[in-house]
Structure 1
């Protein structure tokens, strides 16, 4: 539990001290900082030996790139869908595309579960997927809290 709060505090500190820059630079800076926090969190949770770490991180990097590409593709598709006129046909197509996204995400995770098991014990593979979920949940909660705080400050003004 201490680890969770330590990472949480690091996230708040890093996200709160981003330099003022263009929106695109800020987005990239945020993504880089979040990725660094995620790697730190996963490192602490897995407690990899040097040999395990040497084998794990290259597989993780490939896994992470595939996930990021899939997410980017989904975001792009969602932008296009928002610009289309909503009809039953486009709604049905959007639902099929979303299910396809979820299927591809599951396929990637299933494939990499086997890849990870080649380089670390199954117990640590399970810990990896759990810690990945925990980190994502923690970051979503942090973003929601920040948004609520901004809204409360605006209401007071």
Structure 2
């Protein structure tokens, strides 16, 4: 199992530690999203230590959860983009998004408990948060290497 965890981290780091030129050749944002999603699945599978039966029940439910969260985030971004020109107070709207996010997580927490043992269901959101932190850390590391790496000085003169 420790090997699987190491492999997951390696996949995440590999996705974000390549030079920019090789990423440009790889293609679009959709491909990057697919790679991130694959790394997330590997990470969560390892962290939750799902049995085949649990995985069969969990992943369709988790996919529905992530779809709802993505829709809410897209709505929030669209609203925030429109607010840049409108100069209207957004506290109530922002609070509404936060409330909806909490409602989604509360609902799916209960749903996860129906298909997973309590200890595993309780670790879903924590493991998801850990994955995002690892992803952000890997991206920051890659960015700092690009800024401070070989050849960076010739652009800063």
TM-score (norm 1): 0.82
Shift of 1:19: 5.2
Shift of 1:14: 2.5
Aligned to 1:135: 131
Map 1:5-154 to 2 at 5 A: 5-15=6-16, 16=18, 18=23, 20=25, 26-82=28-84, 84=85, 86=87, 90=88, 92-93=89-90, 95-153=91-149
Aligned to 2:153: 156
Deviations 1:102-121 (A, max 9, x none): 21111100000011111111
- Greater CA drift, 43-52 or 10-19: 10-19
| 1:18 and 1:29 in contact (8 A); partners too | no
What secondary structure is seen at the aligned counterpart in 2 of 1:11? helix
- Greater CA drift, 136-145 or 115-124: 136-145
| 1:41 and 1:135 in contact (8 A); partners too | yes
Distance 1:18 1:60 in 2: 28
The CA RMSD measured in Å over matched residues stands at 2.2
TM-score (norm 2): 0.82
Provide the aligned length of Structure 1 versus Structure 2.
148
- Greater CA drift, 146-155 or 65-74: 146-155
Q: Which has the higher contact order (CA 8 A, sep 6+)?
A: 2
| 2:9 and 2:43 in contact (8 A); partners too | no
